[in-house]
Each structure stands twice: as C-alpha cells, then as structure tokens.
Amino acid sequence: LCSFIHSPKGFPKLKNDTFLRAARGEETEHTPVWCMRQAGRYLPEFRETRAAQDFFATCRSPKLCCELTLQPLRRFPLDAAIIFSDILVVPQALGMEVVMVPGKGPTFTEPLKEVEDLLKLRQKVDVTAELGYVFQAITLTRHSLEGRVPLIGFSGAPWTLMSYMIEGGGSTTMAKAKSWLYRHPEASHQLLRLLADVVTDYLVGQVAAGAQALQLFESHAGHLGPEQFQDFALPYIRDIAQAVKSKLKEEALPLVPMIIFAKDAHYALRDLAHAGYEVVGLDWTIRPQEARAQTGKDVTLQGNLDPCALYAPKEKIGELVKKMLEGFGTQRYIANLGHGLYPDMNPEHVGAFVEAVHAHSRHINKH
C-alpha cells in the first residue's frame, strides 16, 4: 500500500499549490478542482480495498486510509486530496458507539435521549489518545503524496454531530435533535460547546500531523431556520475558526486555509463569509453570481455543480462546467460539486468534470 518515511516533519516539497493559492485568494493559472467524497464507492478499486473490512475498522487503519485517499489521484489530475475518514469519529471519541449498518448507514447503538445522557459523554477528550489513528493516517498520506497536491483534513461541525448523536443516524426531519433545541436550549449549548472544544483540538491535531487545509462540514444546516442557525450553529462555527487559528499560532504550526461548508444555508451566506474562514463552500442550490454578491470579495468560493450533473453525457458536463466558471469567475474560486459523489457514478464522468474545469478555466484566463 503506502510507503512510510519515519519522520513526522521533513514532508516532501509541494509541487502543485494551486488549491492553496486559490484558497488564500492569490492568482492561479487554472481553477483548482477536487470532489467531496472523491475517495468513494464509485471507484471499483475503492470497493475492492474496502470489501474485507468493517467501515470504522477501515477508518482506524492509517494504511487503508492512505491507500483510499490516494486512489482518486492515480486516476484524475485533482488539485487536492482529502483524507479518508468520517465525521462520526468525533462522537466515538466522546465514548459513543457507532456502527455502519449495510443499507442503513451509520447507526448509534445508544443515541442521546434525555439531558441526563450528556453525563455519559467524556467531558475531557485527549484527541491524540482517541483519534491518533486519523493523525497517523494524515502523516502517512502526506508523505505518500510525495508533494503532488495538498492534503485536506476535516471535521463535522457541532450541530451536525449533535443531530446524529440524538437521532441515532440519518433522518429526513431531524425532529428529535431539533426538539432538544426548543425544549432543552441550555443542555443543547452544553453539548455544542463540548463538541466545539473537541473539534478545535482535533483540527489543530490534524495540522500538526500534516494537513495543509481544513474543511468543517455543517451538513445538516438546512434543517435549521435562520434563527436557530444563528443561535445553535453559527456561534460554534465562528468559535472553531478563531480557536483553531489561535492554537495554531500558539503551537507555532502553519496557519492553514479553512473552509466552511454549510449545506442548504443560503440564508446565512453573508454571516458565513465573515465567520473567519478563507473559503465558503456552496451546495448546488444557489446561483454563482448570487453567492458572489452575498459573500463579497474577501473570501474564496468553493462548489457547486449539482452532483447529478455527472450522470449527463460528457459533452454536457463540459458545458455545465463552462457555465459554472463563467458564473463564479476563475479566480478566488475552487471548483467542486455541491455535495459528495454518489456510489453509482461513472468514474469517466468524474474525469470529464476535472478535465473540463482545467481546460475551460485556462481558456478563460488566456482570453
């Protein structure tokens, strides 16, 4: 699988920094592109590597995480890698049991039901002890990338993690988790604060291990209205950016660009643009021009092709990419999908997407 060089520092020199330059708002020759869930089941080699293993056992194997992270880069000229892991490793670090049920997805054996259940959670988490396997995977992968592209680390955001911990898995309404916000606002804040503290340490640990950018996934933002988002999501999103940056400074670690991706939160784009992140990720339900108007000139935007566009014929994918690039402009922009890749997608169409971003953005930059 991946060869390991025994020294956490002394990483290979980065050869393609287009993604990092775009994230920092510097000029790029082409628009960088990567895909959420680019290490995923749509790749036959991914399915083969994963076949023998339980999902979370795979997450705990640095060697397998490294291999899965590198697979899409062997096929496509992507501009960034994202470490293979899962957002639910954080609730596991707090002492909750999560299993992957085939056909159902991640399932908590004992979700939080009553406020008293918060007492069962670890109140102080040593992230190195609980999540050190992710840090090892990052260090191993950073060496194995040999400087080809930057490596992104990530975490779920507090509200999204809280909703899973209460619902016990996926949900179309998030009614159980949202009922906590209405019935137990204080306990909700207590849980969100605990999660924010763990997420902060976890993200700082990822940078120490070699992550060159960080993405925070607020995947369930769309279940909240503007007021609840203001009360229960945004303050923690802001706090994490601030706390991560100040800890990186304290520990003399690189100040890496941070991306916030709050799915379906158009109502909060202005606030997210001022939340302390260099990049705001967008889902596919907003027009590029509209997103630019709301976020202003000081952040980079990332997104937002409808993942289902990849079911279209390749020529059509090229047209859609061209239109998207014309909408966002080629600078201060990172091309991506508006959500992750789906398992039944054709890898060749993913390749067509990546190539179209490079070709059209170069063409636009020249003319």
Look at residue 10 and tell me if it is in a domain. no
The average pLDDT across 19-25 equals 98
10 Å CB burial of residue 91 (0-12, 13-18, 19+) is: buried
Cβ atoms of 259 and 281 within 8 Å: the answer is yes
pLDDT tens-digit readout, 255-308: 999 999 999 999 999 999 999 999 999 999 999 999 999 999 999 999 999 999
Nearest partner of 221 among 270, 301, 161, judged by Cα: 161
Residue 8: pLDDT over 90: no
Per-residue confidence (pLDDT) for residue 103, from 0 to 100 = 87
Residue 215: pLDDT over 70: yes
4 falls in which pLDDT band (50, 70, 90)?
A: very low
Residue 241 sits in a domain whose CATH number is 3.20.20.210
pLDDT tens-digit readout, 147-186: 999 999 999 999 999 999 999 999 999 999 999 999 999 9
Global pTM exceeds 0.85: yes
Residue 5: pLDDT over 60: no
Taking the C-alpha atoms of residue 191 and residue 350, their distance in angstroms, rounded to an integer, is 38
Taking the C-alpha atoms of residue 72 and residue 40, their distance in angstroms, rounded to an integer, is 9
The average pLDDT across 323-343 equals 98
The average pLDDT across 85-97 equals 98
Range of the structural domain that residue 109 is part of: 17-366
Per-residue confidence (pLDDT) for residue 365, from 0 to 100 = 97
Q: How many other C-beta atoms lie within 10 A of the C-beta of residue 44?
A: 10
Look at residue 9 and tell me if it is in a domain. no
The average pLDDT across 201-229 equals 98
Taking the C-alpha atoms of residue 27 and residue 332, their distance in angstroms, rounded to an integer, is 7
Residue 206: pLDDT over 70: yes
The CA distances from residue 259 to 165, 216, 299, in Å, are 23, 6, 10
pLDDT tens-digit readout, 293-321: 999 999 999 999 999 999 999 999 999 99
Taking the C-alpha atoms of residue 170 and residue 35, their distance in angstroms, rounded to an integer, is 22
The rounded mean pLDDT for the chain is 96
Residue 366: pLDDT over 70: yes
2 falls in which pLDDT band (50, 70, 90)?
A: low
Look at residue 5 and tell me if it is in a domain. no
In which region does residue 279 sit, left (phi positive, over 0), alpha (psi from -120 to 50) or beta (all else)? beta
Residue 3: pLDDT over 90: no
Which tokens in the block code for residue 143?
């060496």
Main-chain phi, psi angles of 213, to 5 degrees: -160, 160
Look at residue 1 and tell me if it is in a domain. no
Tell me which residues are annotated as active site: 37, 41, 50, 86, 164
Look at residue 3 and tell me if it is in a domain. no
Residue 329: pLDDT over 70: yes
52 falls in which pLDDT band (50, 70, 90)?
A: confident
Number of structural domains found in the chain: 1
Per-residue confidence (pLDDT) for residue 102, from 0 to 100 = 87
